[in-house]
């Protein structure tokens, strides 16, 4: 694990050009911090648009890879990863031997394994490096980077990780970062579901709503992350920091791989169903909209 200064990349003179594939809420904030640290930033998105208004956009992932020394991928799912990495216009087609590819996307272990194999055939160094944290942590450069891959490649990418995050966890060989991210998000989702169900019981049992939310904000059994969600739910503010559609997708990936590993995850399976319900009505809201879904159930009961 590393907790190096965010300024170490510039201090060591190891800045260069980073090409982002995907430049949404998380990536644009990471890109801003990297630019502030001295890196040159360019990007590709299917729409040709991104979040910061100052970045040069290239027409294809291949063109981006040909122009950038390092490619950092931040896309929503397996399908987007495949479209941006493979084929004649994909990033791998534009990467040369020894180039560095860092995949920060939350995808399936199968997708990470396929990417590692494809990159290996071209002698491209690849890491699966999803991040733990939402847009506030991306903005402040305090993400936790969960990395799978060769230790020497992790060391090579460390100056970048030191800018975007407060800590880097080398989880193990290729694919380990992806699996660790599913563990983290499974716990995060199940934790939120437990808090939301506790609120639902309290309201159904007749407790005062303001008192209930205030009390839960005061107790130590609820994590800082979930207290942030609790505060937002109290006022009905579900501005997306982590959209429901992405959280439900990650839970689905977790359940699929858990079944393959014969890991019994009954609580997380139930959470996946609650998030599937929430996604139907709040796909682009923050996943804490689960509070609203359950609160409406209580309010509408006879």
Please answer whether residues 144 and 130 qualify as being in contact, where contact means their C-beta atoms are separated by less than 8 angstroms.
no
What pLDDT is recorded for position 123?
A: 96
Name 243's Cβ contacts closer than 8 Å, sequence gap at least 6. Answer: 283, 284, 285, 286, 287
What are the 10-residue block averages of pLDDT along the chain, 302 residues in total? 39 69 96 96 85 84 96 97 97 96 97 97 97 95 98 98 98 98 98 98 97 97 96 97 96 98 98 98 98 92 60
Check residue 2 and report its DSSP letter. Answer: B
Strands 131-132 and 143-148: antiparallel
Name 72's Cβ contacts closer than 8 Å, sequence gap at least 6. Answer: 18, 19, 20, 21, 27, 30, 102, 104, 160
Would you call 14 exposed, middle or buried from its count of C-beta atoms within 10 A (0-12, 13-18, 19+)? middle
How many C-beta atoms lie closer than 10 Å to residue 54's C-beta? 10
Catalytic center residues? 181
Model-level pTM? Answer: 0.91
What pLDDT is recorded for position 69?
A: 86
Please answer whether residues 131 and 104 qualify as being in contact, where contact means their C-beta atoms are separated by less than 8 angstroms.
yes
Nearest one of 84, 16, 80 to 44, comparing CA atoms: 84
One-character DSSP codes across 201-229: HHHHTT--HHHHHHHHHH-TTS-HHHHHH
One-character DSSP codes across 67-123: H-SEEEE--SSHHHHHHHHSSTTSGGGGPPTT-EEEE-S---HHHHHHHHHHHHHTT
What pLDDT is recorded for position 8?
A: 38
How many C-beta atoms lie closer than 10 Å to residue 203's C-beta? 18
Give the domains, in start order, of the chain with CATH numbers: 8-172 (3.40.50.720), 180-299 (1.10.1040.10)
Name 15's Cβ contacts closer than 8 Å, sequence gap at least 6. Answer: 9, 37, 38, 39, 40, 159
Instruction: Report the distance separating Cα 151 and Cα 153, nearest Å.
Output: 5
Instruction: Report the distance separating Cα 146 and Cα 154, nearest Å.
Output: 11
Strands 131-132 and 70-73: unpaired
């Amino acid at each position: 694990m590393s907790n190096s200064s965010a300024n170490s990349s510039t201090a060591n003179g190891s800045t260069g050009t980073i090409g982002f594939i995907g430049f949404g809420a998380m990536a644009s904030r990471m890109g801003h911090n990297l630019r502030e640290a001295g890196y040159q930033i360019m990007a590709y998105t299917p729409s040709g648009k991104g979040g910061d208004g100052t970045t040069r956009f290239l027409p294809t992932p291949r063109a981006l890879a040909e122009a950038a020394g390092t490619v950092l991928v931040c896309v929503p799912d397996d399908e987007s990863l495949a479209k941006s990495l493979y084929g004649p216009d994909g990033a791998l087609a534009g990467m040369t031997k020894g180039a560095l590819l860092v995949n920060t996307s939350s995808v399936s272990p199968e997708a990470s394994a396929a990417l590692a194999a494809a990159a290996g055939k071209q002698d491209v160094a690849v890491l699966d490096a999803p991040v733990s944290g939402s847009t506030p942590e991306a903005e402040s450069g305090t993400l936790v980077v969960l990395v799978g891959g060769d230790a020497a490649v992790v060391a090579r990418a460390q100056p970048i990780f030191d800018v975007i995050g407060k800590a880097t966890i080398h989880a193990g060989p290729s694919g380990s970062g992806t699996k660790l991210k599913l563990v983290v998000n499974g716990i995060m989702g199940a934790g939120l579901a437990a808090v939301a169900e506790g609120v639902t019981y309290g309201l159904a049992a007749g407790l005062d709503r303001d008192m209930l939310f205030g009390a839960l904000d005061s107790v130590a059994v609820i994590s800082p992350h979930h207290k942030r969600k609790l505060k937002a739910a109290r006022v009905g503010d579900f501005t997306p920091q982590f959209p429901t559609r992405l959280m439900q997708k990650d839970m689905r990936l977790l359940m699929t791989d858990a079944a393959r590993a014969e890991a019994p995850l009954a609580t997380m399976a139930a959470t996946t169903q609650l998030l599937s319900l929430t996604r139907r009505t709040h796909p682009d809201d923050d996943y804490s909209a689960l509070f609203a879904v359950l609160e409406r159930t209580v309010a509408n009961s006879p």
